[in-house]
Chain A
C-alpha cells in the first residue's frame, strides 16, 4: 500500500480512487478524476482493483442476502398485573419444589391453627376454613413436578408492529448507478420482505417489570404473606 501511495502521489490524485469507486465524490471531482483515469494507468489500476473486490462482495450480497425475507423478530413483554388470591396460591406451586413444599407447610400450619382456634365454634365456620385451605392442601402433585414458566402465559403480551406501515427497505433499495467493471450474468433480485414485521415486548430477567428475588415473582410472594395475615386475622375475629 505504501508503494501504491507513492505511485498515486506522483499524479496528484492520491486517495481518490476509493471515493470514485463508491461514488462519494462531488460531481465536478468525479468528472475530473474520470478524465484523469484515461491518462493515468496507476489510478486506473487502483480503481480496477478496488472495484473488483467491491463488486465481488456486491454479487455475494445480491445473490445470497437480497432474496431473503426479513425475519420476524419477537421480543416478549410482560404486562405487570396484580396477582389475585387464587393466582397467588397457585403461584406457590410454580415455584421450585423446596419453595413450594415450604409454602405448603406454612399454609397447612396456618390452616391447622385456624381449625384449632375455631374448634367448638359453629359448624359453618369449620366448613369455611376447610374451603380456604383446600387449594394449597389438596392441589395435586403434578403442578410441582412440572413447574410452569415463572411468568404466567396470560401475562405475556406480544405487540405487533404494523406491517402496513412498512417503508421502503433501505437495504433493498435500488443501487445507485456506478461504474461497473464486472458484468453480472443476471439482474439483482429485490429483497422479498413483504412478509416481515417487527414484534416487540419483553419479559426478560433484566426487564424492570420483573424484579429478581430468590424465587422470582415478587408480587406473588408479597401477595402470599398478605393473605396469610388475612387468614390469621379472620381466625381471630371468629
Chain B
C-alpha cells in the first residue's frame, strides 16, 4: 500500500497518526542513513546508535516537517546533527575513538580469504589511516565526501540535500579529496 507513495505523502500519513507510513520511510532510507552515520563516525556501533536516534528524532519532530523540503534532506540533516552530537562527545575521549577499533579491524581482516598475513596487516593499517583521515576532516568537508562515497549521491543530489549551490558542493569535495591526499600520501597504495 505504501510502496507507491512518495516520501512526502508518507510523511503526511505519519503526521495523521499512521506509524506504519513512517515505517516505510525508515525502510526506504535506513541503509543510506546508516551509511551516512558510518562514514561520519567511522564505527559500526556508533553509526547504528546515531541512525536509530536520528529516526526517533525524525518521528518525534515529524509534525514540524516543512512541506517544501525533501524528506531525504530532512532525514539527512537530522542524521548529520546526531552524528555531530556524537562527535562532540567523542572529542572528550579522542584517544578512545582513534584506537579502540583496531582489534575489530584486525578480526575482520584475519577472516578475509585473500592475501598474506603481511598484506592483511598492511591493509588493516591502511584502512585505519583512511578512517582517521576522513574523521579528521572538517565536518562540512566530511559530509560531502561521505555522501559521495558512501551514499553514491550525485553532485546535484548532494547540493539538493544540503541546500547548497552545486559549485559549493564541488569545491568542498575537491578540497576534501586534496586534504585526504595530503594525509594519506604515506600510505602504501598500488598504482596501476
A residues sitting closer than 8 Å to B (CB atoms) are: 1, 15, 18-19, 22, 24, 48-50, 52-61, 63-65, 67-68, 70-71, 73-75, 77, 159-162, 165-167, 169-173, 175, 180-183, 185-186, 191, 193, 196-202, 204, 206-209
Contact yes or no, B55 A75, CB < 8 A? yes
**B residues less than 8 Å from A183 (CB atoms):** 190, 192
How many Cβ-Cβ contacts under 8 Å join chain A to chain B?
176
- Looking at B23, B44, B63, B114, which has the most chain A CB atoms within 10 Å of its CB? B23
List which B8-54 residues lie within 8 A (CB) of chain A: 17, 19-20, 22-24, 26-28, 30-32, 34-35, 38-39, 44, 48, 51-52
Given that A63-B108, A170-B32, A202-B19 are contacting pairs, would A53 and B192 also be in contact in the complex, using a CB cutoff of 8 Å?
A: no
B residues sitting closer than 8 Å to A (CB atoms) are: 3, 17, 19-20, 22-24, 26-28, 30-32, 34-35, 38-39, 44, 48, 51-52, 55-56, 59-61, 63, 105, 108-109, 112-115, 119, 123, 126-127, 130-131, 134, 145, 148-152, 154-155, 170, 173-178, 180-181, 184, 187, 189-192
**A183 CA to B181 CA, complexed, in Å:** 17
**A232 CA to B141 CA, complexed, in Å:** 69
Contact yes or no, B178 A65, CB < 8 A? no
Contact yes or no, B150 A61, CB < 8 A? yes
Contact yes or no, A60 B127, CB < 8 A? yes
**A residues less than 8 Å from B175 (CB atoms):** 1
Q: Give 17 CB contacts A-B under 8 Å.
A: A18-B177, A24-B154, A24-B155, A52-B189, A57-B130, A65-B38, A65-B39, A73-B26, A73-B52, A180-B192, A183-B190, A185-B115, A185-B190, A196-B31, A198-B30, A199-B26, A208-B17
In the complex, how many angstroms separate the beta carbon of B59 from the nearest chain A beta carbon?
A: 5
In the complex, how many angstroms separate the beta carbon of B148 from the nearest chain A beta carbon?
A: 7
Given that A65-B39, A166-B27 are contacting pairs, would A202 and B178 also be in contact in the complex, using a CB cutoff of 8 Å?
A: no
The 6 closest A-B pairs by CB, nearest first: A198-B27, A200-B23, A198-B26, A161-B23, A53-B180, A53-B177
Contact yes or no, B177 A54, CB < 8 A? yes
- Looking at A22, A56, A77, A183, which has the most chain B CB atoms within 10 Å of its CB? A56
**B residues less than 8 Å from A204 (CB atoms):** 56, 59-60
Contact yes or no, A57 B31, CB < 8 A? no
Contact yes or no, B30 A61, CB < 8 A? no
Given contacts A70-B30, A185-B123, A202-B60, list 5 more A-B pairs with CB under 8 A: A56-B189, A68-B38, A170-B151, A171-B31, A206-B61
Contact yes or no, A53 B181, CB < 8 A? yes
B-side binding surface: helix, strand, loop or mixed? Answer: helix
Contact yes or no, B59 A54, CB < 8 A? no
**B residues less than 8 Å from A167 (CB atoms):** 28
Point out the residue from A65, A182, A209 that lies within 8 Å of B189, measured CB to CB: A182
Given that A52-B181, A202-B19 are contacting pairs, would A74 and B52 also be in contact in the complex, using a CB cutoff of 8 Å?
A: yes
Given that A18-B174, A161-B26, A198-B27 are contacting pairs, would A208 and B20 also be in contact in the complex, using a CB cutoff of 8 Å?
A: no
Contact yes or no, B184 A161, CB < 8 A? no
- Looking at B17, B61, B113, B152, which has the most chain A CB atoms within 10 Å of its CB? B152
**A60 CA to B31 CA, complexed, in Å:** 17
**A161 CA to B22 CA, complexed, in Å:** 9
Point out the residue from A56, A63, A185 that lies within 8 Å of B180, measured CB to CB: A56
**A162 CA to B60 CA, complexed, in Å:** 22
In the complex, how many angstroms separate the beta carbon of A8 from the nearest chain B beta carbon?
A: 11
Residue of B nearest to A77 (CB): B19
